[in-house]
Structure 1
Amino acid sequence: MVDLNTLTASSSIPEKVDWLAERYWKFSRDARLLESLKGLFVLDEDGELTKEPVRDPLTRETAGLMVLAPSGSGKTALLMRTIRATQVLSEAVDGRPGNTMFVTVPAEATIKSLAQLIAQQAGYVGMASKIRTHEAWAIARHKLRSAGIRLLIIDEAHHLVRPGPGRDVPGAVQSLKHLLQGDAAVAVILVGVPTLREAVMSDEETDRRFEKLFLKPINAGSPEAEHFAKCCGWMASSLGLTLVARDRLPERILFAEQGQLGRAVDLFKETMTRALRARREFPSLVDAEHRFEGLYGPREMSPFAPGNWDAVRSELEKSGWGR
């Protein structure tokens, strides 16, 4: 990875592309997530996080958090960056010990297969395939405790609560609640799309145990949109590129991706990458449109059509763009 201090105009194209890919864009949501984390863990006398989850003094239950937003909003990157920037939390990965575990739920996962996955990541090998669900969870919870895990982050958690034949949504919701109960309880963060909350709401006891953090899209003209534009300008300048002011590329990108931060950042990075590899000083609307078309298919008119942006946006809105 290329360090910011070593990136210069003489850096190679591959170095610049790698540097760009590694850049994380910090927004107000980062501070909001950190504040939510402080609701999951005991704080020291300075108000800083410790490694110990909060427990209700009467029930001994730990606390949970849901991070909710549509696909492409940057939920996973936000969680990973926040955990890695928090000194007292360390990720257990690739055999390296830590007190935080990320688990990504596969699309077809069941609540039993999630328990098996958690146990496996915590170091348990050879769980019988015909094991009963409650037995799998007993092993998973024991392994979390013995591995020193204090925070379990379940990404793509909405896959657990999809309805359909053979699916046990109430059972899945109960299993998530049980992670917060007993001596082996851990703090839990569920990450998913808004349908996750809708399913969990079916059980009032579980729903109230999880604080909700909704990641809203960035609205045009908002302070967050201005911050996004400044980040784009700084990033381009650091790469030796110049954004053409009249193109208003950051505004077009946010509009194209309906304000979803993760997708907007990815589209901007890919647009810069195309300009770098083509050895152009000025990223173009064509660069952005080619990437956008590659993701979503050709359109009669896109947000990257040439011409005055206000006029282009007006035409798109008249045609029902984004609805």
Structure 2
Amino acid sequence: MTMSASDLNINAKLAAVDRLRDKYLATPRDVQFRSYLDRLLQRDERGKLLPKARLFNKAGDARGIAVVEPAGGGKTSLVLHGLKTHPALQPRDAAHQPWVGVRVPSPPTAKSLGLEILKASGYPAVSRRSVTEYDITQKVRDHFKLRGTAVLWIDEAHDLFGAGSKHKVDVSLKIIRNLMQGEDAVSVVLSGIESLWQIASCDAQVTRRYWRLPLADVSPHSDRKALTKVIAGFSDAAGMRPPTDEDLVDRLVHASRNRFGRCIENILAALEAAAMDDADELTINHFAESWGMQEGCGMGQNVFLARHWAKIDLGEAQLNWEGAR
């Protein structure tokens, strides 16, 4: 069957939106994270950063970063991009792995985390029943040394510290702390929601070893120009004119719970709705359509349609959407 000109145009616009989804959008937050990350690494005599954890005392203790932000802010993408693009953390060859990243597995135990780290570092499969937490920690240390690993990133770290008894949490903290000690220590980046720091900071060792990096919410005032530019740029890339509604950014930020990642997701979802309509212009109605589908709300509770949208309560308990992490 031959496709119509309209179908071809719709497909082209949808393809453009998909390409935008694959695009990383740099912000001042990247500079902030890079500054923290640089402080975790050693430098040579000329000041050049090296793929080796910096030790902060005579005992040989490395430090870490706790990147804290509510769900949907974009912290996972931020940390991943920062590690992947850092000049000092580029592998020299296939055997060199300057950084290792894992997401806390299920069930979130110290042993399952250790096995996940081994897997991510290219270690051969290990039987869960045949090893203890101590055995796994030693294997991780040895393999990190072999592969030249300097940074370990643990995403969704709040799941690890928020599950189980205090004893299990202490075991997890002890294992991570062990990896941060000694000649072959690694620096650790933890990322998660606010409860990560609320739980982990109860341990004095955590507050001493980690720098907390809270990522600020998006503001419709200070970020208006930047968000307007993103909407215009994305619209142009998808072959559409940008919307002209004066209060769109204000509604967008409120609908996105002031989270950067959700703002971007909502813009892309609206563009997809517009592409499906083969529209030449992105409008506030496209935002209303895509956001309404995602939230499952009625017209009266749709932030992009309601007259008194600012009064609509978007408390976390009412959300059905996890959003972009």
TM-score range, shorter chain: 0.7 to 0.9
| Superposition deviation, residue 251 in structure 1 | 2.8
| Superposition deviation, residue 177 in structure 1 | 1.7
1:165 to 1:180, Cα distance in 2 relative to 1, 3 A: closer
Correspondence 1:292 to 2:291: yes
| Superposition deviation, residue 47 in structure 1 | 5.2
Contact 2:14/2:272 (CA < 8 Å) preserved in 1?
no
* Distance of 1:282 and 1:91 partners within structure 2: 44
| Superposition deviation, residue 247 in structure 1 | 5.5
Match for residue 39 of structure 1?
Answer: 39
| Superposition deviation, residue 232 in structure 1 | 1.5
| Superposition deviation, residue 52 in structure 1 | 2.1
Percentage of pairs with the same residue: 23
* Structure 1 unaligned spans of 5+: 1-8, 307-311
| Superposition deviation, residue 152 in structure 1 | 0.8
1:228 to 1:107, Cα distance in 2 relative to 1, 3 A: farther
Task: Tell me the amino acid that sits aligned with residue 249 of structure 1.
Answer: L
Contact 2:30/2:78 (CA < 8 Å) preserved in 1?
yes
Match for residue 142 of structure 2?
Answer: 142
Contact 2:106/2:112 (CA < 8 Å) preserved in 1?
no
| Superposition deviation, residue 319 in structure 1 | 4.8
Match for residue 214 of structure 1?
Answer: 214
* Structure 2 unaligned spans of 5+: 1-8, 317-325
| Superposition deviation, residue 178 in structure 1 | 1.7
Task: Tell me the amino acid that sits aligned with residue 282 of structure 1.
Answer: E
1:44 to 1:162, Cα distance in 2 relative to 1, 3 A: same
Match for residue 258 of structure 2?
Answer: 259
Correspondence 1:73 to 2:73: yes
Task: Tell me the amino acid that sits aligned with residue 55 of structure 1.
Answer: L
Contact 1:102/1:153 (CA < 8 Å) preserved in 2?
yes
CA RMSD of aligned residues (A): 2.6
* Distance of 2:312 and 2:228 partners within structure 1: 26
Q: Map residues 241-260 of structure 1 onto 2, 5 A cutoff.
A: 241-246=240-245, 248-260=247-259
Q: Secondary structure at the match of 2:180?
A: coil
Task: Tell me the amino acid that sits aligned with residue 145 of structure 1.
Answer: K
| Superposition deviation, residue 298 in structure 1 | 1.3
| Superposition deviation, residue 167 in structure 1 | 6.9
| Superposition deviation, residue 282 in structure 1 | 1.2
Q: Deviations over 1:23-57 (max 9, x none)?
A: 22221111100110111012356755322221124
Task: Tell me the amino acid that sits aligned with residue 61 of structure 1.
Answer: D
| Superposition deviation, residue 322 in structure 1 | 4.3
Match for residue 305 of structure 1?
Answer: 305
| Superposition deviation, residue 125 in structure 1 | 2.0
| Superposition deviation, residue 77 in structure 1 | 0.7
1:90 to 1:57, Cα distance in 2 relative to 1, 3 A: same
1:44 to 1:183, Cα distance in 2 relative to 1, 3 A: closer
* Distance of 2:184 and 2:12 partners within structure 1: 51
1:320 to 1:295, Cα distance in 2 relative to 1, 3 A: closer
Match for residue 13 of structure 1?
Answer: 13
* Distance of 2:265 and 2:312 partners within structure 1: 26
Q: Secondary structure at the match of 1:168?
A: helix
Contact 2:108/2:163 (CA < 8 Å) preserved in 1?
no
TM-score by length of 1: 0.86
* Distance of 1:240 and 1:75 partners within structure 2: 29
* Distance of 1:276 and 1:48 partners within structure 2: 47
1:211 to 1:255, Cα distance in 2 relative to 1, 3 A: same
Q: Figure out how many residues of one structure are paired with residues of the other and give that number.
A: 305
Contact 2:42/2:53 (CA < 8 Å) preserved in 1?
yes
Q: Secondary structure at the match of 1:101?
A: strand
| Superposition deviation, residue 160 in structure 1 | 0.6
Q: Deviations over 1:145-171 (max 9, x none)?
A: 212211111111111112446971122
Q: Which has the higher contact order (CA 8 A, sep 6+)?
A: 2
Match for residue 152 of structure 2?
Answer: 152
Q: Secondary structure at the match of 1:88?
A: helix
| Superposition deviation, residue 114 in structure 1 | 0.5
Q: Deviations over 1:265-285 (max 9, x none)?
A: 011112112212321111232
Q: Deviations over 1:161-211 (max 9, x none)?
A: 124469711222222222211233111100111111112112102221001
* Distance of 2:143 and 2:301 partners within structure 1: 54
* Distance of 1:232 and 1:141 partners within structure 2: 46
1:244 to 1:56, Cα distance in 2 relative to 1, 3 A: closer
* Distance of 2:205 and 2:249 partners within structure 1: 43
1:296 to 1:290, Cα distance in 2 relative to 1, 3 A: same
Task: Tell me the amino acid that sits aligned with residue 99 of structure 2.
Answer: T
Match for residue 321 of structure 2?
Answer: none
Contact 2:51/2:149 (CA < 8 Å) preserved in 1?
no
Contact 2:254/2:310 (CA < 8 Å) preserved in 1?
no
TM-score by length of 2: 0.85
Match for residue 309 of structure 1?
Answer: none
